[in-house]
Amino acid sequence: MKKMNFIIAYILLITLFLNSCDRRTIRTDTLTSGVAEIAVDECLAPIIEEEINVFEALNKDAAIIPTYASNYTVYDLLMKDSLRLIIGTRELSANEINVIKERNQRVRIQKIAIDGIALIVNKSNMDSLITIKNLKDVITGKIRTWKEIDPQSKLGNISVVFDSPNSSTVKYINDSICCGEQMSDNVKAILPDVETTDIRDNMPNRKVIEYVAANPNAMGIIGVNWISNPSDSTNLSFIDRIKVMAVSRAEQARPENSFRPFPYQLALEQAWRENSKLNPERGYPLTRDIYMIITDASGGLTSGFVNFVAGDRGQRIILKAGLLPANRPWRLVNVTDK
């Protein structure tokens, strides 16, 4: 009897080992149960944490384990097949898709949101408007002082801070703002502390907010989900530790042609991109798309989480976080005093 018990225990151990070694052939998870490891661009940590919390609350037998990392690391983990679901700010290249297909894996790319890149300054800073051209000149070093943006400014040299050298925010700046020009030496990354009790407290984006809040000359570049006001159901305000600049496409920034990254301004920008006949000076110009990319077989927990985020409940969470949902219809209503 003891020998028989030992054989049964041994078979169980071998079965568990095989399950862990070959996830593609033996599944133990479902759409709403099991354990799934995912990789997330750390710029998107607040909103994805909220999505995970709600998903796990609705599905008690499910556990989503996120790894928050730089943009480069997240996509590298997918290409190495270390993880089967990532959340980032770009689609896959044709070469990356071919590599995945050569592994006999399917690829599903699900757009889930439109994000805004926010420019934040110290609350004491009276400069709240900036043009795209001036922003490029600041980042490339052609403009170095606040007086060059506003002659009445009493501030000194501009200190530009962002999250990390390999982040998707830096990639956006290089691709969409600098357009090949070199960043200036007054632009620097914020390095996190080693010790932390909360992953969000130690992320570079949190450090960007803290730095800007403490330094009057600072300008921070950050994803809007880090600064949205969760207690404002209208999505028309941000956290009060910092000030958010309004950005203009025009040659000269004025209140009537400069906009902040509120969801309705992200929607106006999206509407203009889809219909070039609309006024191109409307809408917040610094936007990017957010994607969930899955290479796992359908029917597992990774698929269940993608379906949730892309569904009605997940899209409402995205809107609450200050971003524009990608998979739900939205309507713009113009309200006037008349």
Instruction: For 138-192, write each residue's pLDDT tens digit.
Output: 999 999 999 999 999 999 999 999 988 888 999 999 999 998 899 988 899 886 5
Residue 335 belongs to a domain: no
| Same domain assignment for residues 78 and 139 | no
| Same domain assignment for residues 36 and 124 | no
Residue 332 belongs to a domain: no
Please, how many CA atoms are within 13 Å of residue 149, restricted to the half-sphere of its CB?
A: 32
| Same domain assignment for residues 40 and 6 | no
Q: What is the CATH number of the domain that holds 37?
A: 3.40.190.10
Q: Which conformational region is residue 179 in: left (phi greater than 0), alpha (psi within -120 to 50 degrees), or beta?
A: left
| Same domain assignment for residues 234 and 123 | yes
| Alpha-carbon span 322 to 283, nearest angstrom | 15
pLDDT given for residue 193 in this prediction: 52
| Alpha-carbon span 308 to 64, nearest angstrom | 12
Phi, psi of 85 (to 5 degrees): -145, 125
pLDDT given for residue 194 in this prediction: 44
pLDDT given for residue 157 in this prediction: 94
| Same domain assignment for residues 89 and 199 | no
| Same domain assignment for residues 126 and 250 | yes
Residue 333 belongs to a domain: no
Residue 199 belongs to a domain: yes
pLDDT given for residue 6 in this prediction: 38
Residue 222 and residue 169 in contact, taking contact as beta carbons nearer than 8 Å? yes
pTM: 0.84
SS3 223: strand
DSSP-assigned letter for residue 125: -
| Same domain assignment for residues 193 and 275 | yes
Going by pLDDT thresholds of 50, 70 and 90, the confidence category of residue 330 is: low
Whether residue 273 has pLDDT greater than 50? yes
Whether residue 48 has pLDDT greater than 80? yes
Residue 224 belongs to a domain: yes
| Same domain assignment for residues 134 and 279 | yes
Domain region containing 45: 28-113+290-325
Residue 330 belongs to a domain: no
Torsion of CA 51, 53, 59, 63, to 10 degrees: 100
Report which of 209, 218, 204 is spatially closest to residue 159, judged by C-alpha positions. 218
| Same domain assignment for residues 122 and 263 | yes
The per-residue b/e assignment along 256-282, b for 16 or more CB within 10 angstroms, e otherwise, is ebbbbbbbbbbbbbbebeeeeeeeeee
Residue 264 belongs to a domain: yes
Instruction: For 77-110, write each residue's pLDDT tens digit.
Output: 999 999 999 999 999 999 999 999 999 999 999 9
| Same domain assignment for residues 148 and 238 | yes
Residue 95 belongs to a domain: yes
Helix or strand run (H / E) with residue 168 = helix 168-172
Number of domains within the chain: 3
Count of helix runs (H) and strand runs (E) in the chain? 10, 12
| Same domain assignment for residues 248 and 263 | yes
Whether residue 309 has pLDDT greater than 90? yes
| Same domain assignment for residues 227 and 317 | no
